[in-house]
Amino acid sequence: MYKKSINAFSEAKKFIPGGVNSPVRAFKSVDSTPVFFEKGKGSKMIDIDKNEYIDCVSSWGPLIFGHANETIINSIIETSKNGTTYGASTEIETLIAKKIVDLVPSVEKVRMVNSGTEATMSAIRLARGYTNKEKIIKFSGNYHGHGDSFLIKAGSGAVTLGLPDSPGVTKNIAKDTLIANFNNIESVEKLFNDNSKNIAAVIVEPIAGNMGLVKPQKTFLQELRNLCNKFKSVLIFDEVMTGFRVAAGGAQELYGVHPDLTTLGKIIGGGLPVGAYGGKEEIMNLLAPEGPVYQAGTLSGNPLAMSAGLTVLNLLENKVYEKLEYISKKIEDGWNENIIETKTKAHIARVGSMMTLFFSDKSQINNYNDALELNTKQYAKYFKSMLNMGVYLPPSQYECLFLSTAIDENDIDHLIKSNKKALEELKWVVYF
């Protein structure tokens, strides 16, 4: 069933570290061999062995309209006819910047970069330049890309592989990164009180998506806003995942809390590499060439990504979120029924089209410590069962599902039936 993928992985390992260019793709946490893909269309992906899957990952979020959407593909093709990059300014950069400013409540100016990691690294530098302070606060289990400052008690692939701290991160960098507990405002208050004059920024995933989906508790985000105001620190929302995914204006629109800076990525590239950071004009104007904080990028704002991203943002205006909510809720309800019927120790967390099925005795996951208690062995067995039934899920318990508008009623039906069968198989494997 996966013969060609097994051979492809073996060949890849000869030339690529671990055989992959991003660790979670190695399927290590699900004790399996990665699948190699050759094609995607709509809600489906096809691997090199010609197996077909309903895609519930959407390239980790960007493909909100599914694979090979004709409108988006055509925009890339038409733009490419005039060239791929110029290393100079184009009008389309202004058009997408204006669109982002129009949609995201707190953003007054925006700078394009090439990845979410670039966006978060640049936002931190800008916050330090603005405040003339050095330390940042991040949260255990929040993942903000692979910048040195962030690989301390990180989520995503770091926790998946059991590597919350990475060799190569120096002690001097680590000492400037203070760790708080997500959904625990007291832990943040203590760090502020102990370092009251030297905290440049608090960076947070407003909806955590890298230890599975973890929602912010009712007042958590507003209390972060209040603390940053009190201590004159910059509040950064990492909305690389949630931006344009949970709402047109991201999590900040959903919860009504506005940060000083916002990092974006994924959806705004239409499936091409992209990142962005934006916020208050007063802060953004410190960036070179207007100000002294330096940041640059050869391919930043390249025409292909800008064209694809602008097309996506324009398409988002057509009742997309209503459709995504319908699809996502129907899957959630069906899976919940399956959990009850099979008496599985599991529950679902969902915000919009982001969702995680947690294998846990707990009824809710609130933070990193809760996440570390998840039954990853059960998830691995569940993942393989679903894969064999033609459903592609995140190859890690600590990652979110990202659903697309391309999922239709037949897909939903298959997802619910496959989920029930996988849970039944899991129960047999685990208990008998």
Active site residue 266: yes
Q: Give the integer Cα–Cα distance in Å for 239 and 144.
A: 10
Instruction: Compute the CA torsion angle 291, 293, 297, 302 (nearest 10 deg).
Output: -40
**CA end-to-end span of the chain:** 27
Q: Annotated catalytic residue: which of 130, 143, 321, 392?
A: 143
DSSP per-residue string spanning 13-24: TTTSGGG-SSGG
384 an active-site residue? no
> Burial letters for 156-183: b for 16+ Cβ neighbours within 10 Å, e otherwise?
bbbbbbeebeeeebeeeeeebbbbbbbb
| Catalytic member of 47, 55, 176, 238 | 238
**Could you tell me which residues are beta bridge partners of residue 348?**
357
Structure tokens at 224: 């972060």
> Which whole-number Å values give the CA distances from 21 to 14, 24, 25, 59, 189, in the listed order?
13, 9, 8, 14, 38
Alpha carbons within 13 angstroms on the beta-carbon side of residue 167 total 0
- For residue 92, how many other CB atoms are within 10 A of its CB? 18
Active-site annotation holder among 44, 215, 266, 381: 266
**Residue 253, φ and ψ in degrees, nearest 5:** -70, -40
143 is catalytic: yes
* Residue 307, CB-side half-sphere exposure with 13 Å CA sphere: 19
Nearest to 99 by CA among 222, 272, 276: 276
Buried b (16+ CB within 10 A) or exposed e, 336-345: bebbeebebe
**Active site members:** 143, 238, 266
